[in-house]
Structure 1
């Protein structure tokens, strides 16, 4: 045993002598240069190249690191064995990611790349004005040299776009509103939690499909709008009777695209300049909504003076134009509103949707309705039979085959004549949601009653028209008598 320790001590002495001799013959600079040359030789001989993406670039946060982390979270659950779970600020979703010092294989355009999440302990800091985290984090990307150009030209840009989309979908929607005399930021926001989707929207399925396709084409149409020289925006007009789901449609659009909503209250805006400032403060990927535009301002007040058209908007109906400097004067003009939706200022932002709603489309100025301002006019009609089946599924969890065929046939025959809104039908179903059969039968009775009242109203209108038309046409007493007899038969 003593001989072993003696031999070990001798070897350690020889190693110490060789080390001191090496340091004497090869100074530190020469050793460092030799190591770099060796690394270059190995790198040249290797068929792979490596890229490091650190969490902190100098003193700033590296946006590419956050983008890679978000992007890899979408595929981590498929290819990785060990995952880390996170939940971001203002997010209701849990994100997955690769764990520390673990690796993940990704495929892009048939090219295989390897990501490794490298986490090391940071050396103790000297005195610093900005303390750094204790751990040094980063991603290492390993790719084949022949794929270097493809990865640098398109793959990293694809990661940034995909990460931005994931971030938008994970974050909760925000609902903004404007207020007069508020803080520096004229928009105030609250979380938008409306559950309406196109699946739950009571509407004709074919019409919903066309709207969804149009929204999808718009969201994916950046290259198209740039190629054609058009501003990346689109306008929708939702019109129809009250209770037909116009607000629910807006919520479904926001949830479908993952956009925020700016609810613009025109009565809180004083001038065209203020209107432009509000537009400039809106973000991309947003829906700007003006509800009940026929009620909020008077857009039909076009007075002619000396042959010139005056387009002055009054909040309480037609009124004379106020003098400059008068307190409380609202000087929003139709021209200002048109420029807001389709002028030069509307182009100062990308991927924005304008939505106007009204109950009486005939009251709107034709200048608001043309293409470029309102590109798609969507009529929100009374509840149809297809819409009724969606309401049955939403409120009673009834599929089409769960209700008797004869009962469904009666509902189909009477639904169009009754002209009931989805809101009215929903209220009936909610009231009897605990007794599903009773809910269907009460709904059928209500539809029958509405249908009969509608028919009686139409007959009375026809009777009045027949009573007046012969005298207007000069048909004589005999013609009047015949028309009165026909009227009595129609009432019966």
Structure 2
């Protein structure tokens, strides 16, 4: 063994001497040329080609490097060594490929090898900003026969996957516009944002399960059909109108939609918008994959229904929309026109982004102008009704933990008998259950008593079907819900006829 190590040391010494001799006999330029030609010669007989993706391209950050790093988080679970990271404004931890480690990925029957190369930067050159001490990059090895396919579809797939991962890992944001657009966030935009932490989901939403499924299918179909919108020449956007009595869960529905799709929310306060041009600027500064909300649109602005009394011109002063309480007639400039609002939802300026949903909420749909409700602006009309038997069971599960079969048949039958006639909102039911959440039996008992009192009050006030069989307030609400379910896409003529009839009444 001792002789073996002695021979190995002698061989290493000879090799070092030969390298020193070659360095002294051959200039660096000649050695570089020989090495380059040897590499080219080896590439001719190799079935692979290599691509380097550096972290910094000149002085700019390489977007493709960040995308590859995120993309490999979905494949790096097969690696023995991973690095854990948590991005800014994120509540989740992601893993990535460690330094100088490699991983094999497969895409549509093509196999590639990724290697994360990290080396120390030798010298700092003069630059307008300091460079990192480490030089990072990815080396992609692909077979020559797959080169064209990999550089096209595969890299596009990486960018799309990375964007999706980035969106899922980042917390949702809730934006609001400031007075006159004067306030700016850290990015210099006229929207101020806070993390969106609303816990509402479709699972916890107190609504008929069949109606929830229809809404969820519509949202999913919208988010996955970019090619359809492009092929048909339509802007990739959709409008939802939420209407119904106060306390029926319109705001919770918006939160559930945002959590389901993973979209940000822009809560537009029309009373803070001074002009049509400012409204357009706010729209231009919204991002894709977002929900633009105008809550209680019948209260935030003095909206005149053109069909209510007489036919009016678009240019008459009465068609100005004045911010509530702002005194638009006093000349302080806080007015926008109906035309500006319509173009905001379905005009040329509404197409400056993609994958956005406009949501309007109102307690009085009859006060809104029919032009605002037509398809293309509000494509789906969702009636947020009083509690049904199915929604009460959802609330009992949410607040008291009652599962199917936990309540006695007598209690369930009594609830089913009175809930429709009680006209009680999910907000009222929730308050009763929260107040008595530590005593489940008492909570159910008080809820039943409250419903029975409401039924007696409604019967006394004549809110149920009258003696002459004509539709009353309760029946009219049921009729609106039925029409919303039968025609979820809001046929323009049907809605206009309904609005005009309600206004005349």
Q: Could you say if the C-alpha distance between residues 342 and 291 of structure 1 is closer, same or farther in structure 2, counting changes exceeding 3 Å?
A: same
Please state if 1:20 is matched with 2:24.
Answer: no
Aligned residues: 459
| Partner SS, residue 402 of structure 1 | coil
Contact 2:102-2:115 at 8 Å conserved across structures: yes
**Residue 188 of structure 1: aligned partner:** 192
CA distance in 1, matches of 2:47, 2:305: 74
Deviates more, 1:337-346 or 1:128-137: 128-137
CA distance in 2, matches of 1:14, 1:253: 70
Contact 2:299-2:324 at 8 Å conserved across structures: no
Contact 1:235-1:374 at 8 Å conserved across structures: yes
**Residue 391 of structure 1: aligned partner:** 395
Instruction: Provide the alpha-carbon RMSD of the alignment.
Output: 3.1
Please state if 1:162 is matched with 2:161.
Answer: yes
CA distance in 1, matches of 2:260, 2:312: 50
Deviates more, 1:298-307 or 1:129-138: 298-307
| Partner SS, residue 437 of structure 2 | coil
Please state if 1:97 is matched with 2:105.
Answer: no
Please state if 1:348 is matched with 2:352.
Answer: yes
Structure showing greater radius of gyration is 1
Q: 1:218 aligns with which of 222, 232, 252?
A: 222
Contact 2:273-2:335 at 8 Å conserved across structures: no
**Residue 472 of structure 1: aligned partner:** none
| Partner SS, residue 313 of structure 1 | strand
Deviation at 1:340, TM superposition (A): 0.8
Unaligned runs of 5+ residues in structure 1 are: 467-492
Deviates more, 1:424-433 or 1:95-104: 95-104
Deviates more, 1:390-399 or 1:362-371: 390-399
Contact 1:313-1:331 at 8 Å conserved across structures: yes
Alignment of 1:49-448 (within 5 A): 49-77=49-77, 79-126=78-125, 128-181=127-180, 182-183=182-183, 185-300=189-304, 302=306, 310=316, 311-315=319-323, 322=329, 327-448=331-452
Deviation at 1:352, TM superposition (A): 1.4
| Partner SS, residue 175 of structure 2 | strand
**Residue 471 of structure 1: aligned partner:** none
Deviation at 1:46, TM superposition (A): 2.0
**Residue 36 of structure 1: aligned partner:** 36
Unaligned runs of 5+ residues in structure 2 are: 471-505
| Partner SS, residue 188 of structure 1 | strand
Deviation at 1:125, TM superposition (A): 2.5
TM-score when normalising by structure 1: 0.85
Deviation at 1:257, TM superposition (A): 1.4
